[in-house]
Amino acid sequence: MDGKTVRVALLGCGTVGSEVARLLTEQADELAARAGAPVELAGIAVRRPDKHPELPQHLLTSDAAALVESDVDVIVELIGGIEPVRTWLLTALRKGKSVVTANKALLAEYSAELSEAADSAGADLYFEASVAGAIPLLRPLRESLAGDRITKVMGIVNGTTNFILSAMDSSGAGYAETLDEASRLGYAEADPTADVDGYDAASKAAILASLAFHSRVTASDVYREGIANVTSSDIAAAKALGRTVKLLSICERVTADDGTESVSARVHPVMIPRSHPLAGVGGAFNAVFVEADAAGELMFYGQGAGGAPTASAVLGDLVAVARNRVLGGRGPRESAHAALPVRPMGQTPTRYHISLDVADKPGVLAQVAQVFAAHEVSIAAVRQRDRLSTASLVIVTHLAPDAALRATVEEIGKMDVVHEVVSVMRVEGED
Ligand SMILES: NC(=O)C1=CN([C@@H]2O[C@H](COP(=O)(O)OP(=O)(O)OC[C@H]3O[C@@H](n4cnc5c(N)ncnc54)[C@H](O)[C@@H]3O)[C@@H](O)[C@H]2O)C=CC1
Ligand SMILES: N[C@@H](CC=O)C(=O)O
Ligand code: NA
C-alpha cells in the first residue's frame, strides 16, 4: 500500500447508504488494494443515531454539516433531495474534498455549479449511481465514448415504473399494490411520485443528455409524462398489436434542415414491439441503447435500482476518487463545450398510435383521415374492426412534429363520429 489513508464521510444510511457501509467494511482490504491506500469510513451522518444499533456507534452523528467540515477526504452523499445537501456538497468541493453521489435530482439541476466548485478546487465529482443504478453507463459516456459522436441515448432508466408496467402487462396486477411492493423492495424514491410522474426519469435524461451531447440540459428542459395515465386499455391496445408499454427516456441529437443541431430530451410512455430488446426488460431492471457514429449501437443492461446494486456503482466511484487522490490526479471534468440548445417537444418528431371507437357507417374513415391530412400528419397503418354499432379503428402515424400529432388527436376527439378515444400513445422502435 503506497498512499495515506483516504477518510470517507457517509451522509445518509438508508437503502443505499446501509449497503455502502456494509460493503466498505466487509471489503476493506480489497478496496484498499484497488485504491492504493486504506479507505476508512470516518463518520456516518444519520438523522437519528439511536435508531441505528447495527452501525458502529462511535462513527455516528446527526450533524452532517459538521462531518462535512471535519478532517475527511471524500464525501459519499446518499441522503437525496436538493437542500441542505447542495450546500454541504458545495462546501466540501470548495475545500477540495471529492464527492461521490447517487443524487440525480440534485445533479439534474445543479451539476454546472457543483462541477465549477469541483474544478476550482481540483476535486472530483463522481455520480455513476445516479443513472441506471449498478449499470456502468456514465463513465462509458464520459470516457469510453469521448472520441465518438453520440446521436441517441434511449432506454428504461426508472426501475419502479418498469416494475409496475411489467406487472400490469404480465399479470394485470394493480397499480397501487405494485407501487407499494416497489417501495418495500427499496426501488422507489422516498416520495414515489418522483418515480410515477416521471421526475426521476427526467432527471436521469438531463444527466444523460448533458454527458452524451457535451451540453447543459437540466431536468426542467426535459419533456415529461409519467405512467399515472397509463390505463389497462392502453396495455390491452398494445397487446392487441403485439406491442408493450414502457416508460422511456429519449435523448436525441436533432439536426435541422439548415444543419443546426439541438438536443431533444423527453420522458413518456411508449408502445414498442414485443420483439424489441427493451420489451423484454422486466421488473426493476434498466436498459439503455446508445447510438454513436463510429461505434454504432450499444446496449447497457442491468439492475437499475435497489440498495446493493446502487451501492456497487457508489463503491466503484469511491475507489476511482480514492485512487485519484493517491496518485494526485483527477477524473474527467464536466464537458459542456458544445452548448447545444434544447428543442421544444412540440417540434420534436414523434409517431403516435391512436385507438378509437367510431360510428360504424360509411365515410367515417375518410373523415378521420382528413383531419390527419389537415395537420400534415401522414398515416403509416390503419386497422378497422367492426363491432355491433361501432367500429374500432387503430391508426399508427409516420413521424410528424409532436405538436401536429397532439392537435390531430384533440380535433379527432371532438368529432361526432368518434365515440371514444380509447388509447393514444407514442410509438418507438419501429420502421
Ligand atoms: N434506492 C435506489 O434504488 C436508488 C437510490 N438512488 C439515490 O440515492 C439516494 C439515497 O436513496 P435511498 O437510499 O433509496 O433513500 P433512503 O430514503 O432509503 O435513505 C436516505 C437516508 O437519508 C437519511 N437522512 C435524511 N436527512 C438526513 C440528514 N439531514 N442527515 C443524515 N441523514 C439524513 C434518511 O433518514 C434516510 O435514512 C437518493 O438520492 C436516491 O435518489 C439512486 C439510485 C438508486
Ligand atoms: N427510484 C429509482 C431508483 C434508482 O434510481 C428507480 O426506481 O429507478
Ligand atoms: Na449507473
User: Read out DSSP for 33-59?
Assistant: HHHTS-EEEEEEE-S-GGG-TTS-GGG
Among the atoms of ligand 1, which is closest to the Cα of residue 313?
43
Q: What is the pLDDT of residue 421?
A: 95
312 CB near ligand 1 (under 6 Å): no
- With a CB cutoff of 8 Å and minimum separation 6, the contacts of 260 are none
51 CB near ligand 1 (under 6 Å): no
**Residue among 344, 102, 309, 282 nearest 200 (CA):** 102
Cell numbers given for 326: 493517491
Per DSSP, helices labelled H in 76-103 are 85-94
**Residue among 43, 47, 71 nearest 57 (CA):** 43
Among the atoms of ligand 2, which is closest to the Cα of residue 305?
4
Q: What is the pLDDT of residue 118?
A: 97
Ramachandran quadrant class, 274 (left: phi over 0; alpha: psi -120 to 50; beta: rest): alpha
Q: What is the pLDDT of residue 419?
A: 95
Q: What is the pLDDT of residue 305?
A: 95
The answer to whether residues 164 and 182 touch, using CB atoms and an 8 Å cutoff, is yes
Instruction: Kindly tell me the sign of the dihedral angle through the C-alpha atoms of 117, 28, 45, 67.
Output: negative
With vertex at residue 255, the alpha carbon angle to CA 252 and CA 261, rounded to the nearest 5 degrees, is 85
Among the atoms of ligand 2, which is closest to the Cα of residue 187?
7
- With a CB cutoff of 8 Å and minimum separation 6, the contacts of 351 are 380, 396, 397, 398, 399, 400, 405, 426, 427, 428, 430
Cell numbers given for 391: 367500429
**Can you tell me the distance from the alpha carbon of 67 to that of 61, in angstroms, rounded to the nearest whole number?**
8
User: pLDDT tens track of the chain, all 431 residues?
Assistant: 567 999 999 999 999 999 999 999 999 999 999 999 999 999 999 999 999 999 999 999 999 999 999 999 999 999 999 999 999 999 999 999 999 999 999 999 999 999 999 999 999 999 999 999 999 999 999 999 999 999 999 999 999 999 999 999 998 887 888 999 999 999 999 999 999 999 999 999 999 999 999 999 999 999 999 999 998 889 998 999 899 999 999 999 999 889 999 999 999 999 999 999 999 999 999 999 999 999 999 999 999 999 999 999 999 999 999 999 999 999 988 899 999 999 999 999 999 999 999 998 889 999 999 999 999 999 999 998 776 678 899 999 999 999 999 999 999 999 999 999 999 999 998 76
Q: What is the pLDDT of residue 99?
A: 98
Q: What is the pLDDT of residue 388?
A: 65
Q: What is the pLDDT of residue 174?
A: 79
Q: What is the pLDDT of residue 2?
A: 60
* ipTM score: 0.99
Residue 34 class from Cβ within 10 Å (0-12 exposed, 13-18 middle, 19+ buried)? middle
187 CB near ligand 1 (under 6 Å): yes
Cα 326 to averaged position of ligand 2 atoms, centre (Å): 32
Q: What is the pLDDT of residue 172?
A: 82
**Can you tell me the distance from the alpha carbon of 227 to that of 197, in angstroms, rounded to the nearest whole number?**
6
Q: Which residues line ligand 2 (CB under 6 A)?
A: 133, 158-160, 187-189, 195, 200, 304-305
pTM confidence score: 0.97
Residues belonging to the active site: 204
* 3-class secondary-structure state, position 319: helix
Radius of gyration of the chain (CA): 24
Q: What is the pLDDT of residue 251?
A: 98
Cα 284 to averaged position of ligand 2 atoms, centre (Å): 8
**Residue among 222, 271, 228, 238 nearest 426 (CA):** 271
**Can you tell me the distance from the alpha carbon of 263 to that of 249, in angstroms, rounded to the nearest whole number?**
13
